Amino acid sequence: MAKMSERRYSEITGRAVLYGILIIVAAYYLVPLLIMIMTSFRSMDEIRMGQLIELPRSFTLDAWHQAWNQVQIGARDELGLRPYFINSIKMVIPAVAISTILGALNGYVLSFWKFRGSELFFAALLLGCFLPFQAILLPQSQLLGWLGLTGSISGLVLTHVVYGVSFTTLFFRNYYVNLPGELIKAAKLDGAGFWMIFFRIILPLSSPILVVTVIWQFTQIWNDFLFGVVFSDPSSQPVTVGLNNMVNSTTGETRYNVDMAGAIIAALPTILVYVLAGKYFVRGLTAGSVKG
Amino acid sequence: MSVTNRKGLDYWLPKLVLSPTIAITVIFIYGFVIWTAVLSFTRSRILPQYEFVGFEQYVRLFANDRWLGAMSNLLIFGVLFIAICLIVGLVLAILLDQNIRAEGALRTIYLYPMALSFIVTGTVWKWLLNPTVGIERFMISLGWESFVFDWIVNPQMAIYTIVIAGVWQASGFVMAIFLAGLRGIDTSIIKAAQLDGASLFSVYTRIIIPSMRPVFFSAFIMLAHIAIKSFDLIIALTGGGPGNSTDVPAIFMYQFSFQRGQLGMGAASAIVMLMTVLAILVPYLYSELRTPKNG
């Protein structure tokens, strides 16, 4: 009996230690976010008198207004992160839509309409998933120049589509090859053609992978900085570039509250996606890693 | 007649649908890589020009102290970033795998940094690590007067701040991969081992962790890929400084190509980066393709 209770006791302490560790680790991940949020609602007077890491004693939306449409970023006329945010939206919607549609069609062909060389092509396409983009920056900027798209949102959309299609194709292809092939064979025997099978059979089965792909592409493109900083000019820069310029170019006093509010503004869309559809976000990450 | 027509359509349509992506792959991926390689063998400065100079740009590159510094920084950052992410990710995954009540919530918390832009992560950590306003100031205000944590302004230590922020962002992601791997393991083997009297610890070290080799491998590849490409995190966190102490190849490539008018050398550095990725990737793909997939 004594032995039993001793064992139970050590089991309970074990669990307590386990939960203790997990909660401390959770704090490590959460604290920067909490400081970001708290600081964004404090006034600069308060931060100046106190310090960055402390509980807020006042509440003001001033830093959010500043970051959104009042702070001077670079030498542009429009103030704040708002124009950059709008650029990001204008860039991300067409880029995600086009690359996802292309990926779905490619995956469909590569799974059910294989032809001589299509497997080889798929293997060749996968280099695009691992390509360090530095290896294409110079030719791409030359090409955008020739097309007259330098410094335009269309140029960014083109770039994101071209370098996103490897991933979207991989996602759809890996999903479609696991669908039962008999389904399509039967449909073909019944005389259904390429588009009919795609729209009537495949597309209705695609919603899980569609969500994963859209979320993946949205996160990648929204968070991109490299293409944004290389291929855009002040009128077309995305919000990541705007934020970086804001944080690093403020003349005079550093306004931590404005920086933090700006960081949250830039992060909000992807955080929202993560909170609303985290399951699919994780699936995209693991699909991109384990099978890529 | 109409039947052959149909077949003709279904024969050509898939190829037609795939053709934009074939063009993209041929031009934008392979074509542009070759183009960059060609540029790296030319004398190009501010504008591309095609006077070939052999390996001169590579010779200049590897004689350049900034490049050598960038490479050694990448090595330090890469090794620490990958190793710590793997350890933290594995430990967290194993801890979370013990029938934790709030697993979903904890997983969500561990993983959310991965949804952020590296620019956002860099901005936050830049101020947290800043000795005059961040953690150092906080500890001093708590009464620990002699506390010093000034790595971000110390050229010797600044590279380690990149590791701190990088691990914060990516370790939850490694946890997610490992957790998926743990969930995929056949539990009957584990139960049998436990019936044979194996302790939980030895079940993990002898059975579970060895059987997750492929998961380790793919996590390693993903992390190595993130490390070699790392650009935005460093730009936002330290801007490559103090001095050039947190310079990495991606920043070197960007600055030499687009700010200093050294296209040839920029192209050479890009090709070296690509080769590094391939050197890691090719053995991986080779082993992946050789072993028959189960399931």
- B132-183: per-residue pLDDT in tens? 888 888 888 888 888 888 888 888 899 999 999 999 999 998 998 898 888 8
The Cα A269–Cα B116 span in angstroms is 9
Cis amide bond preceding A238, omega within 30: no
B204: DSSP letter: I
B contacts of A225 (beta carbons < 8 Å):
117-119, 231-232, 235
What residues make up the domain containing B192?
65-294
The Cα B250–Cα A226 span in angstroms is 10
| pLDDT above 90: percentage of residues in chain A | 52
Structural domains in chain A, CATH included, are 2-77 (no CATH), 82-287 (1.10.3720.10)
In-domain check, residue B52: no
| Structural contact between residues B10 and A193, judged by C-beta atoms closer than 8 angstroms | yes
The Cα A173–Cα A196 span in angstroms is 19
| Structural contact between residues A69 and A80, judged by C-beta atoms closer than 8 angstroms | yes
Smallest CA-to-CA distance from A66 within A254, A268, A269, A271 is with A254
Q: Give the distance between the most distant pair of CA atoms in chain A.
A: 84
In-domain check, residue B38: no
Q: Which two tokens stand for residue A243?
A: 């934020």
Give the B window 263-292 contacts with A, CB below 8 Å: 263, 266-267, 269-271, 273-274, 277, 281
Predicted confidence at residue B295, as pLDDT, reads 35
B contacts of A266 (beta carbons < 8 Å):
117, 119-120
Q: What is the CATH number of the domain that holds B214?
A: 1.10.3720.10
Polymer length in residues for chain A: 292
- The larger pLDDT score, comparing residue A55 to residue B255, is at B255
Predicted confidence at residue B294, as pLDDT, reads 45
Residue B249 Cα, gap to closest chain A Cα (Å): 10
Instruction: Note whether B127 contacts A127, CB cutoff 8 Å.
Output: no
| Structural contact between residues B71 and B249, judged by C-beta atoms closer than 8 angstroms | yes
| Structural contact between residues A110 and A116, judged by C-beta atoms closer than 8 angstroms | no
In-domain check, residue B36: no
Mean of the per-residue pLDDT values for chain B?
Answer: 88
| Structural contact between residues B125 and B168, judged by C-beta atoms closer than 8 angstroms | yes
Which residue(s) pair with B52 in the sheet?
B42
Among A109, A132, A162, beta carbon nearest to B24: A162
Residue A54 Cα, gap to closest chain B Cα (Å): 8
Q: Note whether B229 contacts A: Cβ–Cβ < 8 A.
A: yes
Q: Note whether B253 contacts A: Cβ–Cβ < 8 A.
A: yes
Predicted confidence at residue A289, as pLDDT, reads 53
Smallest CA-to-CA distance from B233 within B161, B153, B157, B131 is with B161
Amino acid identity at A89 = I
In-domain check, residue B43: no
Q: How many CB pairs under 8 A join A and B?
A: 251
Q: At what angle do helices B118-129 and A256-290 cross, to 10 degrees?
A: 130
Number of domains in chain B: 1
Q: What is the pLDDT of residues A163-190, one digit of tens each?
A: 999 999 999 998 898 888 888 888 888 8
In-domain check, residue B253: yes
Instruction: Note whether A32 contacts B168, CB cutoff 8 Å.
Output: yes
Q: Average pLDDT for residues A130-158, to the nearest whole number? A: 93
Amino acid identity at A118 = S
Confidence of residue B7 (pLDDT cuts 50, 70, 90): low
In-domain check, residue B249: yes
| Structural contact between residues B89 and B177, judged by C-beta atoms closer than 8 angstroms | yes
In-domain check, residue B231: yes
Residue A252 Cα, gap to closest chain B Cα (Å): 16
Instruction: Note whether A133 contacts B22, CB cutoff 8 Å.
Output: no
In-domain check, residue B216: yes
Mutate to test the interface with B, among A134, A190, A218 (most CBs of B within 10 A): A134
Instruction: Note whether B117 contacts A266, CB cutoff 8 Å.
Output: yes
B contacts of A185 (beta carbons < 8 Å):
none
* Three-state helix/strand/coil letters over A48-104: HHCCCCCCCCCCCCHHHHHHHHHCCCCCCCCCCCHHHHHHHHHHHHHHHHHHHHHHH
CA distances from A14 to A7, A22, B204 (A): 10, 12, 17
